[in-house]
Structures are given as structure tokens and as C-alpha cells.
Structure 1
């Protein structure tokens, strides 16, 4: 078992509530800390913020946009990263289609009127169909996005997503790659690629889950993180 702090990095328009169940399950066994990536204007700024959460080696688990932050940490301070977990994320820069979609959503967020976060229509993209109809799951997602608001969305959408292939190939520590079986934002195929790049990776696919696995499959995600933290 590692003594390194477990740093949980949320994704776009997510806060610590994304990791609510993992914090409850793992805090008694590990030093769990949640990063705040809502304030920095650049990826370098976010990397500095997360690295400052603790001294020495870190166990870093990044979800979605947080996975890009985790890879940026690996590029800039590889000596600080003892183990790496990537959940529902990617390692390539945005495709033109994804960049266009992000730009469209940013334009909507900057338009006049109240920012409503992720509504019912978009929930079907982020959650598996059964989970989008679950009022508790849907309510948690909507509440996070509304709580953080347009300013955070615009700032996070503008962050440069960097190509992480070289950094992943070079990382030899314990790694976990996890995603939902029906994740439409960052599909399983990309996670198979990431796991193949990492020399010491466990790949976990969460059955019947979409993009938000920490909420959709809390027990499975917590158990996978615990196994990863306990690997030598």
C-alpha cells in the first residue's frame, strides 16, 4: 500500500461532489484530497495548483478534463507522480468535431441569459440512459454544473488539451484506466489505447455506465481505486 496522498481531480464543471462516494469509501484507508481546477486560466496554472496540494510523491486520479490535467502533471513533473489513474478521459488533443462542439457550447454559455448548466438534453450524452432517468444521479450532475456556472465552463473549455502519448509510454508506475461501457464523450476504444501505452496498467470497463462513472458506478470505481492504491 502506498503512503502517497491520493489526489482526485474532477472534470469539466465538476467539483468535489463528483467524488462523494469515493471520498467516503477511501478516506479511512488513504490520505484523500480533492483538487480544485475551476480557477486557473492555463494548464500550467492548474498543474501548479494540484502539485501544491502535497509535498513528495502523489497518486493522481483524473476524471475527464482532470485526466488531461493529470497527464500534464506527468509531462511537467514526472518525478512527483508515483501512480496514475485515468477515468473517462482521453490522451489526444480535441478532434476538429469535438473542438467545434466545445466552441458551440462556449458560445451558448456566453450568450445573454442565465447559465443553466447541463440540462436534460445533454444529460443523455453524459449518463447512460437508465442513469439519466435516475433523479438522484441527474440531480447531482445538474447541481454541480449550475453551482460552478458559465465563468468556470468558459475558462475550462478554453484549456489546451495536450497529447499525452509520450508521457504515458514513459510512465512505469502503477496505472489504472477506467471508463463506462457506453461512454459517448470518451469511448472505451480510447481507453484500450491508453492502457496499451502504459507499461503497468489495469483496464476496467464499467458495465452499463456512461461518462460519469464515479457517480454511475460508485462501488466499482472505489474498489478499482483501492486496488490501484494497494498495488506495489
Structure 2
């Protein structure tokens, strides 16, 4: 009954926070356009198994550095809205930013359930990189399952780290142990297991039971998102729109991947490059201890524990996360190193032309 108890606990937290938020009507983002990414240059990258991955980019195509953002579970590239807005102003023409929707999320195509694995997400990231940034230095930024995607990529493509991949940020993420967190307790919920069984054996029934499935998982996603009761109602509405827009097969399919996560083998590879490890101290899904564990294994890391923030720390406390990303890029690409890397990749490009 542990799973049922965890769901009850998190549901109570959700209700309490919602009531508190309604008492605070000030909304600094009431007029914010959260669909700015939709106006950026767009194209589709097709994965080897035929799944179309939606991509957006901002910044000059010939910028000396590319920063690629991978979003988390039940979200889409818009989860990096405040990074897209503020960092484009900060970095200017020196950085090109790439955003993409993970398979089964946002504008990307749905896929076979057996491909909803963290290993496959790492392969998808490499497919995106081969198309959008085949040359030149790259910094990877992953939030939640996106951070796990970065670790998966590092495990499978270690040869690029310290060369093509020069820095990485793992935000509200974990290398392993998710099954020991509150999320792990929730995954033991018998009702949720019934939904997963139905998704495997009769996927059409899952679509028919869409409302029931969402009502089961909604308290988990909502309550864990934010730690501060004064969070902007517009930001909350935007994040909920992303969550509720995620197809049920995607939501159910990736639960097993999170439950069995173990990307600790990637840490020695990631240790070759500067990293930012960030997490809210009120994160219920990937508690701060997971970030501390990763930082302990990464000697060139900055550990950033954000006071009062929940799982969607990059939306809740964007200035703190943005400042951390600016510091990461400076550490990963000091002027002399960036000039050397750019020259090296241009020479390689000429040899291949």
C-alpha cells in the first residue's frame, strides 16, 4: 500500500499549494508569450527508426558555440522558455541555441512503446547533433529526463566528450536511484501498474481511459513541479498545458525507463568536461541528494541547490538557472579554448569537403 500512501501525500500537497496560490493574485508573467519558440527557425530531424523530431533554433548559424537543450518527462521544448528569452540576449551572436522535442512529446512523433527508453533518447540526441551541429564545440543542457538523456549520450558516445562536447548541465536530474524517491513509491501504486499493463496489452483502451489516467497521474506532476506557493499562475498554467498535452502512451511508456534508470556508467565520461548540477531543494521527484551524488563524482562541477524551488526549477527560478548556465559556458569555453576548438573543427571540415 506504499504507492497509495505516496499518492495521497502528494495529492494533499498539491491541494494545499493550489489553495495558497489562489490567495496570491499577483502575476508578473500575466502577459508573457510562452510560445516564442514557435516563431524560431524550425525543421524536422528524422531518427533512424523514422520518428520525426521537431527542432527549433535561435542565434546565428555560424556562431562559434552551440548549446543544445533536452527537456524532461511530460514536457516539451517550451520548458526552456525563459532560457530561450534571456540567454539569447546574454550570449548574442556568440551562441546558437538548439531546442527539440523528445520522441512522443510536443511536436515530435509518437513511437513504438519499446523505444521509450533512456538509451534511445541518448541515440536521438546524437541524431539531432549529427544534423544540427556536426562540427564545432557543443554544450548540452538537460532537465529531468533530459539530463538522463545527456548521461545516456555520454555513455554511448564517450569519444566526443572533451572534444566535440565541451560542457554539460544536468538540471533536476539523476544518474540512478529514482526508484528510491517519492516517485519510486508512486510507481508502486497498483492503479498505475494496471494502467501500464493496459498500455502494453491493449493500447487503444488507454486512449479511451485518458481522463482516468490523467486524474491518476495529475497530482504527481502538478504537486512536484514547484516549491514556492507564490509561483506565477501563468507559469503554472503553461507547465500544466505541456503536461496534459503529452500523449498517454508516452506518459505510461517512459515510466518504466525512469523506474529502472541507471546511467552511473556515464559519470566518468562526463567528468572530462565542466558541468553544472542544479536542483531545487523542494524537488520531490529528483531530490537534491541525487544532484549532490552526481556532483561528488564530477570534479569540475558547480553544484547549485536552489532554495525554495521544485522540479521545474528552470521555470520557477529562471534567473538563478540562467546565471548558472552563463557561468558554465564561460568555464567550458574560455576565449583561448574556444578559438582553438573552432579552428580545429574548421580544419576538419575543410579536409572533409
Q: What TM-score comes out, normalization by structure 2 length?
A: 0.59
1:57-206 aligned within 5 A: 57-80=137-160, 81-95=165-179, 98-99=183-184, 101-102=186-187, 104=189, 105=192, 107-108=194-195, 111=206, 112-114=209-211, 116=214, 119=218, 122-131=221-230, 134-159=232-257, 161-170=260-269, 171-206=271-306
Displacement of 1:103: 5.8
1:46 aligns with 2:121: yes
Aligned residues: 230
Unaligned runs of 5+ in 1: none
- Report the structure, 1 or 2, having the larger helix content: 2
Cα RMSD between the aligned structures?
2.5
What is aligned with 1:213? 313
What is aligned with 1:33? 98
CA contact (8 A) 1:106 1:154 kept: no
Displacement of 1:122: 4.4
Displacement of 1:19: 0.2
Deviation per residue, 1:171-210 (Å, 9 max, x gap): 2211000000211111112211111110200111112111
In 2, the alpha carbon distance for the partners of 1:4 and 1:229 equals 9
For residue 211 of structure 1, give the secondary structure of its aligned residue in structure 2.
coil
Larger Rg: 2
Tell me which stretches of 4 or more aligned residues in structure 1 moved more than 6 Å.
none
In 2, the alpha carbon distance for the partners of 1:4 and 1:78 equals 20
For residue 158 of structure 1, give the secondary structure of its aligned residue in structure 2.
helix
Higher relative contact order (CA 8 A, sep 6+): 1
Unaligned runs of 5+ in 2: 1-62, 105-110, 200-205, 335-353
In 1, the alpha carbon distance for the partners of 2:126 and 2:140 equals 10
Stretch deviating more after TM superposition (122-131 or 100-109): 100-109
